[in-house]
Amino acid sequence: MSQIEVKKIVKALSASDGAGVKLKRSIGTPEADYIDPFLMLDEFGSENKDDYVAGFPAHPHRGIETVTYMLNGEFEHQDSTGAKGIMTSGDVQWMKTGRGIIHSEMPAMKEGKLLGFQLWINMPAKMKKNKPEYLYIKGSELGTHKDSEKIVKVIAGKYEKAEGPEKNHNVDPIYFHIVLNDEKKFSCDVPDGHNSFIYLLKGELKIGEKKTSHNG
């Protein structure tokens, strides 16, 4: 299998959504408007409650999957299927919106650091009229690989013997959260036909012959 090289380095743009939540958007921008099947990727995070306290009041989604991954803080979810719960650090919320769902995501905290990601995945046309589904995955349910060089949390897909808890996917996504020690390497096989992207949250990374850094 050939080695993947970087095609483009995209800087996340400052944006806001919901009732004014400040965030950084990397997919769904003029530079990266669509990486099939990924429609949007947002990082939402701040230590200032005014940047997030208004949250995301009730709003509709249709024909997509939304994957929310919390790294720090708490958010409360409610939707028109009757699902309700509070996400805490390490948890994942996976919605397959199908023919339509109305949901809200509101912070269950009034101070402190908030950090999380939301990824939008396009659903295949034949599944866009399916009944909506809501999956809540506790951080302790994620597959985790740990060795002397790295920690890999598996939200979807498989790495070594660690697997993501949800197996009934529409597009077979691979979603890892990787913490890599200094001067160490990470590699994995990606199926032919898959598009790939890496979001560098902190530190410095070299892929092939190209290098980029992020001072977040």
pLDDT, one tens digit per residue, over 115-163 is: 999 999 999 999 999 999 999 999 999 999 999 999 999 999 999 999 9
pLDDT, one tens digit per residue, over 127-140 is: 999 999 999 999 99
What is the pTM (predicted TM-score) of this model?
0.89
* Cα–Cα dist 178/64, whole Å: 25
Q: Is the pLDDT of residue 216 over 50?
A: no
- Neighbour tally for 110: CB within 10 Å: 7
* Cα–Cα dist 127/66, whole Å: 15
* Cα–Cα dist 32/39, whole Å: 9
- Neighbour tally for 171: CB within 10 Å: 15
Instruction: Supply the DSSP symbol for 192.
Output: T
Confidence of residue 184 (pLDDT cuts 50, 70, 90): very high
Average pLDDT over residues 41-69: 91
* Cα–Cα dist 89/77, whole Å: 14
CATH numbers and ranges of domains, the chain:
13-214 (2.60.120.10)
* Cα–Cα dist 207/46, whole Å: 29
pLDDT, one tens digit per residue, over 62-86 is: 999 999 999 999 999 999 989 888 9
